[in-house]
């Protein structure tokens, strides 16, 4: 009999305890419920778990990017990158094709820009099949001229044409043999001599990666 009473009493306690807990949960105020949810989220994060994603941090939401304005007539813009070359074009009138040149900026090997090269195709009729404008710093020794070689081959020397506030310019022409070597080569070396150190040479690497595709997309201009 005693064991039966004890069993009944224990069952009553368990039932009452469970009912009381459920009742407490059902009668919690909204503020208490919100506080409990926030506390659970903080505890989950502190335990190394991942909190439920909200609308603000879902990875499939785009934050957008700054829109680039359309170029106006006569403005220079970059159309695309082809290998290590940029196709720089000038916006033309409506209904006309924008003339484009190949462009590459050469640095000193540590990221500092030193010189730049622009290449354009020429209309057939002359020995030069393409032309190029090479711009170097003002502090360049002009009498030593500028030299260019492909993959360590025989170098060719070109004179400077003029200087401006931007730098000194060499306007050169390339034969069909030159273009063929550029298409087959890996890199060209452009060598200039500093005016303050005429006994030294600065060798700049001109990448030929993507040269063929870029050259085929370059505009043909009058010589």
Residue 108 C-alpha from the chain's centroid:
19
Q: What integer pLDDT is reported at residue 69 of this predicted model?
A: 82
Short-list 137, 176, 177, CA closest to 160? 137
Residue ranges of alpha helices (H) inside the chain are 2-26, 30-46, 176-184, 211-217
Which residues make Cβ contacts (< 8 Å) with residue 192, sequence separation at least 6?
Answer: 115, 136, 140, 141, 144, 146, 201, 202, 204
Q: What integer pLDDT is reported at residue 26 of this predicted model?
A: 42
The DSSP H or E segment spanning 91 is none
CA end-to-end distance (rounded Å), the chain = 119
Which overall architecture, per CATH, does domain 76-221 show? Sandwich (2.60)
Residue 43 C-alpha from the chain's centroid:
41
Rounded Cα distance, 125 and 143, in Å: 31
What residues does each domain of the chain span? 2-46, 76-221
Q: What integer pLDDT is reported at residue 178 of this predicted model?
A: 97
Model confidence pTM above 0.75: no
Q: Are residues 86 and 217 in contact, defined by beta-carbon separation less than 8 angstroms?
A: no
223 residues of the chain, pLDDT tens digit each: 433 333 333 333 333 334 343 433 444 454 554 555 455 544 545 455 454 555 555 678 888 877 778 888 889 999 999 999 999 999 999 888 999 999 999 999 899 999 999 999 999 878 999 999 999 999 999 999 999 999 999 999 999 999 999 999 999 999 999 999 999 999 999 999 999 999 999 999 999 999 999 999 999 987 6
DSSP state of 194: B
Q: Which two tokens stand for residue 25?
A: 């949960």
Q: What integer pLDDT is reported at residue 66 of this predicted model?
A: 79
Q: What integer pLDDT is reported at residue 42 of this predicted model?
A: 47
Rounded Cα distance, 128 and 115, in Å: 23
Q: What integer pLDDT is reported at residue 37 of this predicted model?
A: 45
């Amino acid at each position: 009999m005693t064991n039966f009473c004890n069993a009944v009493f224990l069952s009553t306690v368990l039932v009452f305890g469970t009912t009381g807990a459920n009742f407490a949960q059902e009668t919690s105020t909204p503020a208490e419920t919100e506080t409990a949810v926030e506390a659970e989220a903080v505890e989950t994060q502190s335990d190394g778990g991942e909190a439920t994603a909200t609308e603000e941090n879902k990875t499939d939401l785009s934050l957008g990017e700054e829109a680039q304005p359309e170029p106006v007539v006569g403005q220079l813009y970059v159309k695309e990158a082809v290998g290590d070359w940029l196709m720089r074009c000038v916006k033309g009138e409506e209904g006309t094709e924008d003339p484009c040149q190949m462009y590459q900026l050469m640095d000193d090997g540590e990221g500092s820009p030193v010189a730049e090269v622009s290449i354009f195709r020429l209309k057939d009729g002359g020995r030069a099949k393409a032309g190029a404008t090479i711009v170097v710093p003002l502090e360049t020794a002009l009498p030593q001229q500028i030299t260019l070689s492909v993959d360590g081959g025989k170098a060719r020397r070109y004179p400077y044409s003029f200087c401006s506030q931007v730098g000194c310019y060499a306007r050169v022409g390339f034969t069909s043999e030159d273009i063929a070597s550029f298409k087959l080569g890996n890199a060209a070396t452009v060598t200039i001599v500093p005016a303050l150190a005429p006994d030294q040479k600065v060798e700049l690497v001109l990448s030929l990666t993507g040269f063929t595709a870029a050259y085929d997309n370059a505009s043909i201009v009058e010589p």
